[in-house]
Amino acid sequence: MTQTIIDTANHLAGYAAKAARVKVIAAYPITPQTTVVEKIADFVETGKMDAEYIRVESEHSAMVACISAAAAGVRTFTATSAHGLALMHEALHWASGSRLPIVMAVVNRAMGAPWSIWPDLSDSLSQRDTGWIQFYCADNQEVFDTIIQAYKLCEDERVFLPAMVCLEGFILSHTYAPAKIPDQGAIDSFLPEYRSGWVLDVNHPYSHANLVAPEWYMEFRYMIQEAMENAKRLIPEIDREYGKLSGFEYGGLIEKYKCEDADLIVFTMGTMGSDAKLAVDKLRKEGLKVGSARVRVYRPFPVEEVKKLVEHAKMLTTIDRHISFGMEGFLASEIKASLFNQKDRPLIAGFIAGLGGRDVTSETIEKIVKKSQKCMHIGRVEKETEWIDLRE
Amino acid sequence: MLKEIRIHGRGGQGSVTAAEVLAHAAFIEGKWVQAFPYFGAERRGAPVKAFARISSEPLLVHSQVYSPDYVIVLDPYIYKVVDVTEGLKKDGIIVINSKKKPEEIGLKSWRVATIDATGIALELNLLVAGLPVVNTSILGAFAKATDEVKLASVLKAVKETWSGGAGEKNSRATELAYERLKRWWNGET
Amino acid sequence: MTSPLKTRKEMPITPLSCPTVGSMGKTGFWRIFRPEINYSKCTRCALCWVYCPDAAITRQEDDSPKIDYDYCKGCGICANECPTKAITMQREEE
The total domain count for chain A is 2
Helix pair angle (A59-71, A89-97), 10° resolution: 10
Of A226, A246, A266, the domain-final residue: A246
User: In this predicted structure, what is the pLDDT of residue C1?
Assistant: 46
Burial class (CB in 10 A: 0-12, 13-18, 19+), B129: exposed
Contacts of C13 in chain A (CB under 8 A): none
Does any domain span residue A392?
A: no
What CATH number did the domain enclosing A235 receive?
3.40.50.970
Does any domain span residue A236?
A: yes
Residue type, B9: G
First to last CA, chain B: 28
User: In this predicted structure, what is the pLDDT of residue B186?
Assistant: 62
Q: Residue A382: give the domain boundaries.
A: 254-387
Of A225, A246, A267, the domain-final residue: A246
Helix (H) or strand (E) holding A255: strand A254-257
Q: Which chains touch A (3 or more CB pairs under 8 A)?
A: B, C
User: In this predicted structure, what is the pLDDT of residue B187?
Assistant: 59
Closest chain B C-alpha to A72 CA, distance in angstroms: 39
Mutating which of B15, B73, B74, B77 best tests the C interface, going by the most C Cβ atoms within 10 A?
B77
User: In this predicted structure, what is the pLDDT of residue C93?
Assistant: 78
Q: Looking at the structure, do residues A238 and A382 belong to the same domain, yes or no?
A: no
Q: Looking at the structure, do residues A78 and A189 belong to the same domain, yes or no?
A: yes
Q: Which of B58, B62, B71, B66 is nearest to B22 (CA)?
A: B71
Mutating which of C30, C70, C72 best tests the B interface, going by the most B Cβ atoms within 10 A?
C30
Confidence band, pLDDT 50/70/90 cuts, at residue B189: low
Q: Looking at the structure, do residues A193 and A331 belong to the same domain, yes or no?
A: no
Neighbouring C-beta atoms of residue A1, cutoff 10 Å:
8
SS3 assignment, position B134: coil
What CATH number did the domain enclosing A284 receive?
3.40.50.920
Q: Which of B42, B185, B36, B175 is nearest to B114 (CA)?
A: B185
Is B37's Cβ below 8 Å from some Cβ in C? no
Res B78 pLDDT > 70: yes
Q: Which of residues 238-277 of A touch C (CB under 8 A)?
A: none
Q: Looking at the structure, do residues A136 and A194 belong to the same domain, yes or no?
A: yes
Q: Looking at the structure, do residues A226 and A301 belong to the same domain, yes or no?
A: no
Helix (H) or strand (E) holding A103: strand A103-108
Q: Looking at the structure, do residues A206 and A308 belong to the same domain, yes or no?
A: no
Is A392's Cβ below 8 Å from some Cβ in C? yes
Q: Which chains touch C (3 or more CB pairs under 8 A)?
A: A, B
Of A246, A280, A312, the domain-final residue: A246
Determine the average pLDDT of the residues in B150-170: 95
Q: What is the DSSP letter of A201?
A: B
Q: Which of A295, A329, A323 is nearest to A136 (CA)?
A: A295
Mean pLDDT of successive 10-residue stretches along chain A, which has 392 residues = 92 98 98 97 97 97 97 97 98 97 98 95 97 98 98 97 98 96 96 91 89 95 98 98 94 96 97 98 97 98 97 96 96 97 95 97 97 93 94 88
Closest chain B C-alpha to A187 CA, distance in angstroms: 25
Closest chain C C-alpha to A250 CA, distance in angstroms: 40
pLDDT string in tens for chain C (94-residue length): 456 778 898 888 888 888 887 777 788 888 888 999 999 999 999 999 999 999 999 999 999 999 999 999 898 999 999 999 999 999 887 7
**If you measure CA to CA, which chain C residue comes closest to A116?**
C15
Q: Looking at the structure, do residues A195 and A304 belong to the same domain, yes or no?
A: no
Is B30's Cβ below 8 Å from some Cβ in A? no
Is A202's Cβ below 8 Å from some Cβ in C? no
**Which domains, ranges and CATH numbers included, belong to chain C?**
26-91 (3.30.70.20)
Q: Looking at the structure, do residues A237 and A261 belong to the same domain, yes or no?
A: no
